[in-house]
Amino acid sequence: MLRHPVPVLRNLVGSVGFALASVHAAQADTVAVAVAANFTAPMQKIASAFEAETGHKAELSFGATGKFYAQITNGAPFQILLSADDTTPAKLEREGKAVANSRFTYAIGTLVLWSAQPGYVDGQGAVLKTGDFKHLAIANPKLAPYGLAAMQAMDKLGVTAQLQPRFVQGENIAQTHQFVATGNAQLGFVALSQVMADGKLASGSAWQVPANLHEPIRQDAALLMPGKDSTAAKALLGFLRGDKARAIITSYGYGF
């Protein structure tokens, strides 16, 4: 006769739970991800959601896409690249540094002219022609696709020559945003995701640069060769395509 069925059942359930947790922990892995600076805030949230759902941890490095390209071609052990453009991942694939057919567009970025001062930037961007500002922040167009898009927009507006003496150049879009946020530049071209929260402008004033003034900022992801056999890397790329990640990406003003 079984005299203590409840404690025995509890012990059994506890043992099964411990075993499942141990298996989950044993299968969990870390994936090294190079992330374009403009995607910092959404990727931090996505990484947390990814770890909670899968147990895998995403080790994130943020910076300029051009610098990541140089590091990857020189052997940096990144497993995934989340680029600020679509040309860098394609180039890495052609050069055998990225897994063939692993590329996809995870977001389409939006360029804005932003000032930390409320009311400083008007809704048509006329401040570029009429403002008496001393400094205009822009990301290095040779390294940062948002900087290149900003240059294209100014060229189409015909203001590049008159504004160039006022440029303060950031190494990447994160540093460019910092120049404006600290007041070292009165305004600058940044990513909408950097100044948006809960679907609206978090602070200051901004003009959303019309998409027809620059080439589309298609941001592609790629599985790099060091991650070709990584379960965690493949899981993260799959997670990026899912509804949870896309909801986060959309909340920061990106399109698809």
| pLDDT at site 143 | 86
| Mean pLDDT, rounded, for 230-242 | 98
How far, in Å, CA of 45 to CA of 162, rounded?
40
Q: What is the pLDDT of residues 140-180, one digit of tens each?
A: 999 889 999 999 999 999 999 999 999 999 999 999 999 99
Burial class of residue 106 (count of CB atoms within 10 Å of its CB; 0-12, 13-18, 19+): buried
Q: Are 219 and 36 in contact (CB under 8 A)?
A: yes
Quick one: tokens of 199?
């679907």
| pLDDT at site 117 | 96
- Listed by start position, the domains of the chain span 5-108+217-251, 111-208
Confidence band for 28, pLDDT divided at 50, 70 and 90: confident
Q: Is the pLDDT of residue 93 over 60?
A: yes
Domains 5-108+217-251 and 111-208 in one fold: yes
Best CA proximity match to 226, nearest among 49, 90, 70, 34: 34
| Mean pLDDT, rounded, for 98-126 | 97
| pLDDT at site 24 | 46
| pLDDT at site 98 | 98
CA distances from 252 to 3, 156, 214 (A): 59, 27, 20
CATH for the 111-208 domain, from 3.40.190.10, 3.30.460.10, 3.40.50.300, 3.40.47.10 = 3.40.190.10
Best CA proximity match to 233, nearest among 92, 56, 52: 56
Q: Does domain 5-108+217-251 have CATH number 3.40.190.10?
A: yes
Q: Is the pLDDT of residue 127 over 60?
A: yes
